[in-house]
Amino acid sequence: MVDDGARIRTARPGDDGVGVIAMLGGAENYLTVFLLRELANALHELAADPDCGAIVVRAEGKHFCAGRDWRTIRDPEDTAEAIYACAPQLIDVAKPWVAELTGGSIGVGLGVAMCADHRVAAETAYLWPKFVGIGIHHGFGLTATLTETVGRQRATELLSTGRKVSMLEAERIGLVDRVARLEDVSTASVEFAALLAAQPREALAAIRGTMRAPLLASFEDASRHERAAQERLYRSADFQSATDGGYRYTATGD
């Protein structure tokens, strides 16, 4: 496995009960299985901390997550199968987590953002379910998360057109919970998480159990279907052309 250094930085909760996870994937913060695993581990470690009531996840680069990098040869371990195996861990977190959105949440990056309990976004951010534009089926459980959030008709429209969604629209249709100026979004996300952390823990956990427990099963079912659909389309001319040949890997041991 290629070790490209630290991918995650975690700040333990302070008096406000909020833990913060920063993704350190550079400007684009492309998703790899290594980043995803570290993010999942950090979420679960903070959730197990009795001093933590809620978690904020942010990126230090330009984008929250620009999806997968189709221009770079991948490590052999960084497969779609590995991504899908890890993805449900972002749903099954014991404490609420807030995705702080800056720049783009693109493709699978939108999938990551939609796994959060809540989203607080900079007014300059955008969501881009661009799968169809590169000739591929959507993934990362968006069939479940996007549909649960905005309804089947709106989710189908967004996934079928692959258009960008501004924060003005995203807030209006319920894709994000709060919108703030870019310079204020870090404060806004922590304040929102602190509001959650301040609630009685047992009551909040019970509410989350009622509201989110069904999502895990639907997420896993949706992911299986999405993965199968993606595999059928990997060989299509549209996908091959849009991604310069699709998945490419380094030789084992390189």
What's the confidence (pLDDT) of residue 5?
64
CA 205, chain centre distance (Å): 22
146 CB-near residues (< 8 Å, 6+ apart): 110, 114, 129, 155, 158, 159
Rounded CA-CA distance 183/171 in Å is: 18
What's the confidence (pLDDT) of residue 244?
84
CA 59, chain centre distance (Å): 11
The answer to whether the CB of 55 falls within 8 A of the CB of 47 is yes
Rounded CA-CA distance 100/188 in Å is: 9
Rounded CA-CA distance 231/219 in Å is: 18
Sign of torsion, CA 128 67 81 98? negative
CA 166, chain centre distance (Å): 17
Burial of 138 (0-12, 13-18, 19+ CB in 10 A): buried
What's the confidence (pLDDT) of residue 172?
98
Coil/strand/helix, residue 128 = strand
The answer to whether the CB of 65 falls within 8 A of the CB of 106 is yes
What's the confidence (pLDDT) of residue 2?
37
What's the confidence (pLDDT) of residue 251?
55
State the virtual CA torsion across 219, 70, 77, 9 in degrees, nearest 10.
Answer: -70
Consecutive 10-residue averages of pLDDT for the chain (254 residues): 69 98 96 97 98 98 95 90 96 97 98 98 98 96 98 98 98 98 98 98 96 93 96 93 79 45
User: What topology does CATH give the domain 8-183+201-242?
Assistant: 2-enoyl-CoA Hydratase; Chain A, domain 1 (3.90.226)
Kindly report the pTM of this predicted structure.
0.94
What's the confidence (pLDDT) of residue 168?
98
Q: How far from each other are the two terminal CA atoms of the chain, in whole angstroms? A: 9
| Mode of pairing for the β-strands spanning 104-106 and 165-166 | unpaired
Coil/strand/helix, residue 78 = coil
Q: Long-range contacts of range 169-177, CB-CB < 8 Å, 24 or more positions apart?
A: 170/121, 170/127, 171/121, 174/149, 174/150, 175/119, 175/127, 175/149, 175/150, 176/101, 176/119, 176/120, 176/121, 177/118, 177/119, 177/120
Closest CA to 17 of 196, 158, 138: 196
